[in-house]
Amino acid sequence: MHSPVLAIRRTPLVAVYGTLKRGLRNHHWLTGAEFIGADTLSDVTLYDLGHCPGAKAEPSHGIDVELYRVDAQGLRDLDRLEDYRVRAPRNGTYDRIVHRTAFGLAWLYLYNLDVTGCPAIRAGGWPGTP
């Protein structure tokens, strides 16, 4: 049996919750990715950073996400967009973790920086999402 991380590297799913969602300014980064579906995550809270949201692993009433299947290059592109640093994940703006969704394991970007003073969003989605 393969480990979950190895399995996800073969056919990576990515859960997005902000500007990467359909109709928003960074969705073009998912050109060529396959839309899998929508889900609600109750162990993630969003923080409104102004220009985008940042997610923290905290209980919520359900945060709306979209799931996409991306190839290895697509995942590398998203890592660059999110300032995820493979060799030092806690040093980037976002860390990338494996998270359970209704569609199986998916990558989820968590915000590494301080959110003091940023409004918490514990249900639904970021104000900029459709």
For residue 23, with 0-12 CB atoms within 10 Å meaning exposed, 13-18 middle and 19 or more buried, which class applies? exposed
What are the catalytic residues?
82
**Contact between residue 105 and residue 8 where contact means Cβ atoms under 8 Å apart:** yes
**Contact between residue 67 and residue 39 where contact means Cβ atoms under 8 Å apart:** yes
